[in-house]
Amino acid sequence: LQHADVPAQISSTVVLVPPTTRVGQSVRKGQLLVELDNVDYMQEVIRAELSLASAKSEQAILDVEREAAEERAALAMQDQTLSEAELKRVTDAFNRGVAKQREVDHAQQKTIATSSVAVNAREAANRFPSREEQSSSAISTKMAELTLAQENLRRCKVLSPIDGVLQEIDVRVGEHVINGKRIARVVNSGIMEIPLRLPSYARS
């Protein structure tokens, strides 16, 4: 009643069929049945690891840039506040007749310039939350890619899913297998169902 058709979960070439993988041999759950070529999948793992490391480095750089942007925004706002205070003082002096129009114009120009710088600095700082969210999303994607690459590398070793006996072996060394192709069939005869044919008069 218990049996398993063991499929290949990746496409690759058979590089090893152990001596224990023979029809009629007993196998244990987790025992190696067939090993597939893992070179391509190992390279995928390496690329995924490097890509994840690069994404994490970019996030670290982004943290530094955000701190600097927030400091620049704070300084720009302080400069804007000082410029506005200076403009107020010059305007008051002009209204009392102790300052010239040229001084008022100069103070206004400086206030406009510092306000523009403050707006730009705030805008740059406000962009970082969305950039950090994108960076975090990129890291999650790279981690998922690495997990999948590691899983595909693990799948290069085809293991028996149950205890039992090898009933069939469908591959040999050098053969190319595709995802879903059956590698072997394992049967556990610990629980069996035997149909019995009885004559109708024995029904009672």
Q: Indicate the DSSP class of residue 98.
A: S
What string of pLDDT tens digits covers the 204 residues of the chain? Answer: 889 999 999 999 999 999 989 999 999 999 999 999 999 999 999 999 999 999 999 999 999 999 999 999 999 999 989 999 998 988 888 888 877 888 888 888 999 999 999 999 999 889 888 888 999 999 999 999 999 999 999 999 999 999 999 999 999 999 999 999 999 999 998 888 888 888 888 877
| Residue 30 CA, distance from chain mean position | 28
The answer to whether 167 and 186 are in contact (CB under 8 A) is yes
Query: Model-level pTM?
Result: 0.72
156 vs 151: CA distance, rounded Å:
9
Nearest to 158 by CA among 14, 39, 44: 14
